[in-house]
Chain A
Amino acid sequence: MYILHPGMQKKVLTEQALYYGDVAMPKDWDIDRDKLSGDILQSVIQNKDFPFSRTWDMLNTYMRDHVGLEYGVNLVNKETWGNIYKPGENTIPLLNIDPVDLRNSPDFTLLYGVKVKDCMVRIHFEDNRRKGRSWDIPLKDNMFIMFPSTNMYYLTNNQKDSLNFVQTITYEYI
């Protein structure tokens, strides 16, 4: 609560926070992105769940630990999967909540750049009556973007040569 003027006060009821940055692992303990991209490829080709691995666990633990430490947000895992985006591909708008089952929907969506090149993420949000606003952020290798799962988003692979590998992890917070 912020006192602006005697008798005049402000209370923030909700906020839409986005967290992003590089995954700064300790020296010689970088995330093995070759392993992750291989696992993504395997899960996509075989149409199977994304396999658990030490590498994925390192990423997941890093995110949970650091978001908890820096922002006091305690995250609990919901789901994870990997995607491969073709050159020039523009995804359909993506939404990771089920509007008719919010109880079992995640709070946050995390995107991690496994192997990406010229990849753009557009996150849609509403600012009260100002609907349809968006925020663009490039997703790079070893970079993460975490945002509320109620926000629709889409990814664009802007170049014509290579595939983009992106890991998604969804969380709820307690």
Chain B
Amino acid sequence: MAHFAKLGSNGKVIQVLTLNNSDMLNADGVEDESVGQQYLETHNNWPAQMWIQTSYNTSGNTHKDGGTPFRGNYAGIGYTWDEDDQIFWPKKPYASWVKHNESASWKSPIGDAPALTAEQISQNEDNTHIWSYVWNEANQSWDLTDSKA
């Protein structure tokens, strides 16, 4: 089963459809994205070049079964197609965050949240606290919070 994202004129993903692999075979019997695009144009009334194949098993530029990741992330409605980098981007979570192509994800301007200490992890496991870092856009910092407090 193949998946194709339908793009709006602004590059946003409007819809994601599945396609039988047999509907995207070329004359040599090999799966070909352009054949799938043409099939979708014919049957869905939307131009071929605005159907972009996406991988159900790819997230954060990693293939969940250890295969080769394909186009960064599995496309979802509202994602944006970046043709230059060949990545489907989810919505930007905060205004200050920037694209990180290697992981096909958004990163804060100061990087990832700090790791929890062993004690905090232990308390989370004991369910006495729920420690996590939450991005504070106003202060541009990671704030340690206990959602059980």
Contact = CB atoms under 8 A, between A and B. Distances in A.
A160 interface: no
Interface stretch (A1-9, A23-31, A81-89, A97-105): A23-31
B14 A69 contact: yes
Nearest to A25: B9
Nearest to B13: A69
A18 interface: no
Given A65-B6, A66-B8, A28 B47 contact: yes
A28 B46 CA distance: 11
Interface in B1-58: 6, 8-9, 12, 14-15, 44-47, 50
A69 B45 contact: no
Q: For the side of the interface on B, what is the size category? A: 10 to 19
B47 A61 contact: no
A35 interface: no
Contacts, number: 29
Interface in A1-46: 24-26, 28-29
A26 B50 contact: yes
Q: For this complex, into which size category does the number of interface residues on chain A fall?
A: 10 to 19
Contact of B9 (A26, A54, A57, A61): A26
A58 interface: yes
Q: Is the interface of A mostly helix, strand, loop or mixed?
A: helix
B116 interface: no
A57 B45 contact: yes
A66 B12 CA distance: 10
A88 to B, nearest CB: 36
Contact of A24 (B9, B15, B45): B9
A29 B6 CA distance: 15
B42 to A, nearest CB: 10
Contacts of B77: 68-69
A66 B45 contact: no
Contact of A26 (B12, B15, B44, B47): B47
What 9 pairs between A and B have smallest CB-CB spacing? Answer: A65-B14, A58-B45, A26-B47, A29-B47, A24-B9, A69-B14, A26-B9, A57-B45, A54-B45
Interface of A: 24-26, 28-29, 54, 57-58, 61, 65-66, 68-69
9 contacts: A25-B9, A26-B9, A28-B47, A58-B45, A61-B45, A61-B46, A66-B14, A68-B14, A69-B8
